Amino acid sequence: MKKGYKRLIAMLLAAALTTSLAACSSGGGGTDENAGDQASGGSSDGTFTASGETLNVGVQSNIISIPTVYAEEQGYFDELGLDVNLIMFPNGSPENEGLAAEQLDVASNGLASVYSMASGLCDWIAESDSGSVTVQVYVRPDSPVLDHKGEIEGKPDMYGSADTLRGLTVLGPTSTMEQWVAASYFSQFGLTAGADYEYLNMDRAAAAQAILTGEGDVFVATDVDYCNMMEENGMVAVADCMDATDTEFYNGFLARKDILEERYDDVVLFLQGMYKAAEELQADPELRNEFALEFYSENGKPADADDVAYETEVRPFLVPDDFSSSDYYLGSGTLQVGSFFASIGTIEEDQVQFIEEAINVGPLQDALGITVQAATLE
């Protein structure tokens, strides 16, 4: 499963975080006044033509990127005349670095997308799956956090208290869903990072191993295999994503604003090929399981056949019919997360409007020939 993409493993997460946060604090210059209503490329009959230039697309070794990698391996991009180069990243933080350095044109990304949107660098153009369905917050079985349950009104199953959580250390990558969920969970009890607890930046896999060998106190598992790893080693879930955040978050796709302006047709064609793959995989669970297990195995992600089958069951890929639903709004999760980050000072308050402006339904509508609603702050 090595055709069509190269691995980019050697990037330092600390450097990626520095660049991502520096971009956020720049004031979000260069926003696109037409975001969410991007002018279509293509001809008058709705056809789109590839530019002939390579489209560099960031992918990760998790569910976010499965349809994209499958589309490349099946030749769906080639069929559309599109030259796609897939570049593997460990998580969303270094993808933001790649976008900022113009190494990437498009990226399949999760919660870290908020930073590239808030900085005015990228638009949010499509979504792939729910990133919050399988998220759980874990502590050790002897943690005092387990001594208190149901202290937050309306959340009888969530463990924790201000006293038992204060002073703890969370292990995980920054600018990701792990950090957002942890911050949201602690904030339920009036606690903030730096002042009341520590969030220690570590790669996801390294953080999982560290928590199991006695380092740190809290770990946020964002998918099935890490949840299983925690539970098989006696860790106890104290909150799920909905209890911790009150929000459902969809993973999806970023495109640089300059790429949308200069190579709009390439982005539309990319989405066409990717959603063709998503529909095929979603319609055939056995095919999806087989492909996902091989993909994870070859890219260092811990998973077995049972993990993959469960992920397929609980985390469907979004397909064209989902986007036409009256209750679907592109970017609702990213906008809610951005608002939350602003409320705790992770980004500036005035950058939330840049996130709203970055929700761009144009490429998705043109790729699928449908009407899509965009989330707004109202």
CA distances from 133 to 95, 227, 321, 365 (A): 23, 12, 20, 26
Where in the chain do CATH 3.40.190.10 domains reside? 5-131+248-368, 136-245
CATH class, domain 136-245, is: alpha beta
Higher confidence at residue 41 or residue 206? 206
Band of residue 345 on the pLDDT scale cut at 50, 70, 90: confident
- Closest C-alpha among 73, 124, 93 to residue 298: 73
At residue 110, does pLDDT exceed 80? yes
pLDDT at 302: 79
CA distances from 96 to 35, 131, 188, 274, 317 (A): 19, 18, 28, 21, 23
What percent of the chain clears pLDDT 70, i.e. is strictly above it?
88
- Write the CB contacts of 183 (distance below 8 Å, at least 6 apart in sequence): 192, 193, 199, 340, 344, 346
**Residue reference for tokens 């349809």:** 67
pTM of the model: 0.77
Tens of pLDDT, residues 46-87: 789 999 999 999 999 989 999 999 999 999 999 999 999 999
- CATH number 3.20.20.150 is the correct assignment for the domain at 5-131+248-368: no
- Closest C-alpha among 97, 119, 95 to residue 15: 97
